[in-house]
Amino acid sequence: MTGSAQFTPAVPEPRYEVFHTDCPARAVLGHVTSRWGVWILISLRDKELRFFELRESIQGISEKMLAQSLRALVEDGLVWRRVEPTTPPQVTYGLTEFGQEVREPLDDLFDRITQRLGSR
For 10-22, the pLDDT digits (tens) are 666 666 677 778 8
Pick the more confident residue, 64 or 119.
64
Instruction: Give yes or no for residue 3 having a pLDDT over 60.
Output: no
Average pLDDT of 52-62?
Answer: 96
What are 65-70's contacts with CB under 8 Å, separation 24+? 65/35, 65/36, 66/36, 66/40, 69/31, 69/34, 69/36, 69/37, 69/40, 70/40
Q: Residue 115: helix, strand or coil by DSSP?
A: helix
